[in-house]
Structure 1
Amino acid sequence: MRRAAARAAGTAAIALVMVPALFPLYWMVISSLKGPQELQTIPPTWWPRSPSLSAFTEVFDAVPFGAAFVNSLLLAGLATASVLVTSVLAGYVFAKCRFRGREALFWGVVATMFLPPVVTLVPLYWMVSSLGLADTYLGVLLPWLANPFGVFLMRQFVADVPDELLDAARIDGAGELRIVWRVVTPLLKPAVVSLAIFSFVFYWNSFIWPLSILQDDAKFPVVLALSQLLSYSTSVQYQNVVMAGALIASLPTIAVFLVAQRVFVASLSRTGVKG
């Protein structure tokens, strides 16, 4: 009975934590299914009386939401892939290669994590503009090709890889790049998946930098298209459209986490246990 009571208490505690976390998502879903009249009902209804999907079609009529969705997939996907490659390579160099100034260079990279984004916004804009990359996808991607947090994370994980394993690969004739991709990277699966989740969510939700460098509406990512949709939120008549757009924009990040949750949780447990 004590075990049953403990399980019941644990389940209740988990439910108490999950309800506040999931309530905004639940409210977004039911609001997107309501009609304009029902959205004005006081007190509000907890489930749509006549659920309708019309708001989801209106999203694509109000703004070029489909093109923005594809733009975000392209930008976030390429940026995530680049961050994974550069982070693994840099993490390997900082963890396993010996050269003068290694520690100073590493901590210099880490120090850039503490710079507020607004401090680097103007220098980045002038640098990208001087290269003729303003209002281009490459201009958006250029500052996203590497990430100091990714370098720091990979360096910590690569440091745990035994040097004897690398020496055995070198004796077999493997070069450094082959060692990185064939020997080290398979051992970093939890860290790689975690970094992929963090990077994809971060770049998918990035707003200030794309807004600063892009002028053509056809190149806007989904977060900028959402900002255009927010102009409709001043009227209750279009709040369901705004909620539908926000729900569509949230689906890729939710899907990425659900697909990779097991490896992500494994990586968190590994970082807390050192043996």
Structure 2
Amino acid sequence: MRFDIITLFPELFAPFLASGVTRRAYESGQVQVRLWQPRDFAEGNYRRVDDRPFGGGPGMVMLAEPLRRCLEAIRAERAESVPAPVVLFSPIGRKLDHASVARWSESQGAILVCGRYEGIDQRFIDAYVDQQISLGDFVLSGGEVAAMALLDAVARLQPGVLHDQGSHQLDSFNPALDGLLDCPHYTRPESWQGAPVPPALLSGHHAQIERWRRDQRLEITARHRPDLINAARAAGQLSRVDETLLARLAAAQD
């Protein structure tokens, strides 16, 4: 798959693409990344890409024309019979979640537009943007951090990127865990600052360990994200044992 990123700050991506376990996805070409500087498609000596907003107000607005030219150059290079979707990172977009990341991980990729300043001329958005994505109910200085978040989430799902092929199956929100949050994890030493490792994890009893982890996932999810418990229940993913534990936890809180 290929992601083309339109950004005024392509230099921000260099260390990201060369660091950490996900770099394997970029080095192998499983996830191809091309960076595009809209200033290269702007006119005039100053290669201007922004201007003051009509109607007044603070800040500047990114010009539509350099973005359009940049987008056309990308499409010409990709030369796809089915054009890749154009994605803008924006507060009005749908929040990125595991399900959408999983879909992106099996897609042809996309053209990611990283806005800056007060935003992008709405006419470009209306004419060319197919989808808008948000990381959450907060505002970033630009779309670059959001683009990196999407790339990282997609890259780690590619075969061979993680050391353990099944590692991501145990991530929070993964369908393999019925969409629950993950359980706590422990490593050596067995006692640290007087806090021991839970005995179940030292038992060597596989079924006991898995039951402890399941109970922890249920308890943590019920405490922090009860909406995920409701979704798992609606999907018929909770057993009688699960429900008994949840009922006991609810009674303890009353």
TM-score, scaled to structure 1: 0.24
TM-score, scaled to structure 2: 0.25
Greater fraction of residues in helix: 1
Name the structure, 1 or 2, with higher relative contact order (CA <8 Å, separation 6+): 1
Greater fraction of residues in strand: 2
